[in-house]
């Protein structure tokens, strides 16, 4: 039998291994009880099991923060980097190895503050990766400092009399960047929606940005309390090209048909603060991804040497 046949057999053998969600949990998450990050981890595990992703073929990249501990808990390759800089690392990985699945986990300080420059540009590069912004409206790891997404007037250790500035809305910002290709919002307390959004994000060929509203029981327990208790404050954006997980109709009566192709409506919905809106705001699967834009034909080492020797002719004395 040819070696090709052998590798096909291997593939079948691989296919025989079936990963359960729990197989993707490397070790128990060490977040506070009630932390929304657990919800995100559970949804990710479900997604990986659904897609049957090989732990060795994916990389979870993060910055620094409570949320950025995420890669340590997933059975996959992981790169727990430095504060604010997960996206450049992830971009480098994807540029070098487009075949690897790349997931980025970042916090509101990590992404919207110190990493804001990278965030804006990563949206524009549009590389195929899933980016989860775990937005608890506060700096968790460093113990309760105001973040760019902290609501106006909300107090913290650095703004004891309340945040002086209106919050920066990551959705509006993302939707404002040229070349944005997937923008969604979900919440850790609506697991079905979180999971469905992740699925859609993974399915999208490009930079899938998901803002996950995330409860922090320690420092911002009250911020999402009303929303959790009173589903009427939440509107689901539904569409056949977006997400509409079954079983939520009863609890979340406020539903709006929103076509994710409609960037103007997406922007105007993101601007409104009358309700929390969960769903896919914008999606365009047709935009080119940077790793393909920059793809160049492979050249063998020997061919490189030949070409470089030719190149030297330009400089020959």
- Tally of residues, the chain: 317
Nearest Cα residue to 175 out of 84, 273, 269, 64: 269
The one of another protein, ligand TPP, Mg ion, none whose footprint includes residue 92, by CB under 5 to 8 A per kind, is another protein
CB of 109 to another protein, least distance (A): 16
Is position 110 an interface residue for ligand TPP (rule: CB under 6 A)?
yes
Is position 170 an interface residue for ligand TPP (rule: CB under 6 A)?
no
| Residues 221, 121: Cα–Cα separation, whole Å | 32
Contact residues for another protein, defined by CB under 8 A: 26, 55-57, 59-61, 64, 71-72, 74-82, 85, 87-97, 99-100, 117-118, 120-121, 294, 296-299, 301-302, 304-305, 307-309, 311-312, 315-317
Is position 136 an interface residue for Mg ion (rule: CB under 5 A)?
yes
Is position 139 an interface residue for ligand TPP (rule: CB under 6 A)?
yes
What token pair was written down for 306?
Answer: 């030949």
Nearer to Mg ion, 223 or 236 (CB): 223
Please, which residues have CB within 8 angstroms of residue 2's CB and are 6 or more apart in sequence?
none
Note the Cα 143 to chain centre separation in Å.
23
CB of 214 to ligand TPP, least distance (A): 8
How many chain residues bind Mg ion (CB under 5 A)?
Answer: 4
Helix or strand or coil: residue 52?
A: coil
Considering only 25, 42, 54, 142, the residue that binds ligand TPP (CB under 6 A) is 142
Is position 231 an interface residue for ligand TPP (rule: CB under 6 A)?
no
Answer yes or no: are the C-beta atoms of 48 and 92 closer than 8 Å.
no
β-partners of residue 134 are 107, 212
CB of 87 to another protein, least distance (A): 8
CB of 84 to another protein, least distance (A): 9
Note the Cα 4 to chain centre separation in Å.
36
Q: How many CB atoms lie within 10 A of CB 41?
A: 22
**Ramachandran region of residue 192, left (φ > 0), alpha (ψ -120 to 50) or beta?**
alpha
Of residues 30-89, which lie at the interface with ligand TPP (CB under 6 A)?
64-67, 83
> Which residues of the chain form contacts with ligand TPP (CB under 6 A)?
64-67, 83, 107-110, 134, 136, 138-142, 147
């Amino acid at each position: 039998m040819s070696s090709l046949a052998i590798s096909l057999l291997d593939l079948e053998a691989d296919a025989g291994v079936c990963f359960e969600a729990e197989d993707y949990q490397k070790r128990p998450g060490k977040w506070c009880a009630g932390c929304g990050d657990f919800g995100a981890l559970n949804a990710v595990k479900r997604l990986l099991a659904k897609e049957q992703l090989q732990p060795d073929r994916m990389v979870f990249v993060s910055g620094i923060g409570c949320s950025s501990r995420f890669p340590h808990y997933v059975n996959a390759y992981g790169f727990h980097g430095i504060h604010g800089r997960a996206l450049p690392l992830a971009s480098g990985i994807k540029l070098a190895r487009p075949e690897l699945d790349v997931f980025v986990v970042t916090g509101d300080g990590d992404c919207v503050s110190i990493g804001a420059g990278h965030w804006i540009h990563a949206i524009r590069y549009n590389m195929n990766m899933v980016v989860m912004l775990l937005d608890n409206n506060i700096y968790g790891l460093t113990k309760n400092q105001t973040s760019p997404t902290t609501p106006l007037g909300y107090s913290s250790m650095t703004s004891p009399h309340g945040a002086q500035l209106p919050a920066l809305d990551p959705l509006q910002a993302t939707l404002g960047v040229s070349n944005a290709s997937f923008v969604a919002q979900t919440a850790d307390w609506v697991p079905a929606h979180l999971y469905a959004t992740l699925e859609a994000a993974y399915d999208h060929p490009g930079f899938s940005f998901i803002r996950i509203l995330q409860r922090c029981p320690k420092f911002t327990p009250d911020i999402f309390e009303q929303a959790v208790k009173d589903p009427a404050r939440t509107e689901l954006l539904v569409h056949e090209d977006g997400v509409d997980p079954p079983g939520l109709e009863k609890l979340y009566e406020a539903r709006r048909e929103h076509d994710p192709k409609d960037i103007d409506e997406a922007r105007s919905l993101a601007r409104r603060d009358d309700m929390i809106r969960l769903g896919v705001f914008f999606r365009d699967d047709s935009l080119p991804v940077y790793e393909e834009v920059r793809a160049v034909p492979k050249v063998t080492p020997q061919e490189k040497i030949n070409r470089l020797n030719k190149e030297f002719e330009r400089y020959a004395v």
